[in-house]
Amino acid sequence: MERGIHLESEPEPLGITKIGERFRGLRIVDPSAERSILGSMRQYGQLSPVVVCRLEAGCDELLDGFKRLNAARSLSLETLTVRRLTAGPRACKAAMLQLNRVGRSISSMEEALVVHSLCHDDGLSQVEIAGLLGRHKSWVSRRVALIARLCDEAQERIRLGLLPASLGTELARLQRHNQQQVLEAIVRHHLTWRETRKMVTALLNAPRSVALILGDPRAFSGRQEGVALSPGDERGLGPEAKTLFRALLGYEMTCLETALTLSGTTLAGWGNEEAGKLRLAGGKVLAALALVEQELHTIMGGGDGISAQQGRA
């Protein structure tokens, strides 16, 4: 078992062409951080050495400093200052986590990529990985599960920086075969982490309402916070029109939330008295809906050329 890690104390210059990227797949592309590092190196130069480890003669594999290496290439630099680490391949992967642990510059998804590689590529058991990393076995198990539960496309998008790693954690709460269409909804609607988390929670609570939820995920992700309006939504509306506009959007949200609840309900599961009262309440709702529909058609001239989707736009 490889345990020894020794970082040589003296930094030294090394030609960029001699730096290997065997472990790049274990780090996630972060375009914003890449731009920040590039700006810093353009203005101040390289402030801290990168860390490499020689696993084969003539090639030093990069362990820490992938953003600085990319920036150096963009700036047409010929060398980078490096510090060498003495370790075997498995210990190198462990070092990638240890070198970034203090600054917390590595995400839980990147930790999962390293742990998953140690398990599936290097053949280590979870107990062995825990010993190598100085972590509890449960920590290792959670990281392995995070990758195992995440669909291949989501993993690829995260590695390339096309999807925030935090959204991958939310996707992993769902079954793999359900993640593709949820991923498409996230991309299509440009959902934030908070919106994604609420949408995933809604899907877990009402698995039979997938189409309803994914059709308008913000209606469910925002329902606990009231009607969410952008600054331009009410532009040009007078006080009375604004009040009616908000009431209609609130009514839509209430209907969607009620539909979500009803989708997981069958009257056969209730007692006779309960089912009777629910039917009575349902009848009153349908009557009220019919009245609202009649009035909406009246004020919209019969609704010609106006769809529900256009009404929300």
Place of tokens 């107990």: 127
CA angle 137, 141, 144 (to 5 degrees): 140
* Burial call 87-103: b when 16+ CB within 10 Å, e when fewer: beebbbbbbbbbbbeee
Sign of CA dihedral 84, 159, 169, 225: positive
Average confidence (pLDDT) over 169-192: 91
Look at residue 75 in the predicted model and tell me its pLDDT.
95
Q: Of 286 and 304, which is predicted with more confidence?
A: 286
Which long-range contacts does 161-169 make (Cβ < 8 Å, 24+ apart)?
161/28, 161/29, 161/30, 161/31, 163/187, 164/193, 165/28, 165/107, 165/108, 165/109, 165/110, 166/107, 166/193, 167/191, 167/193, 167/196, 168/109, 169/108, 169/109
Task: Determine the average pLDDT of the residues in 176-190.
Answer: 92
Q: What is the pTM of this model?
A: 0.62
Rounded to the nearest integer, the mean pLDDT of the chain is: 82
**pLDDT at residue number 241:** 82
Give the residue from 277, 278, 230, 228 showing the smallest Cα distance to 258.
Answer: 278
Whether 308 has a pLDDT exceeding 60, the answer reads no
Roughly what angle, to the nearest 10 degrees, separates helices 137-148 and 126-133? 120
Summarised one tens digit per residue, pLDDT across range 40-81 is 999 999 999 999 998 876 678 999 999 999 999 999 999 999
Q: What is the pLDDT of residue 9?
A: 62
For 219-251, write each residue's pLDDT tens digit.
Answer: 766 554 444 555 567 777 888 888 888 778 777
Q: Once rounded to an integer, what is the mean pLDDT over residues 179-196? A: 91
Q: How far apart are CA 12 and CA 168, in angstroms?
A: 38
Segment 157-170, tens digit of pLDDT: 988 888 888 888 88
- Residue 127 — very low, low, confident or very high, per pLDDT cuts 50/70/90? very high
Q: What pLDDT sits at residue 306?
A: 43
Residue scoring higher pLDDT (262 or 34): 34
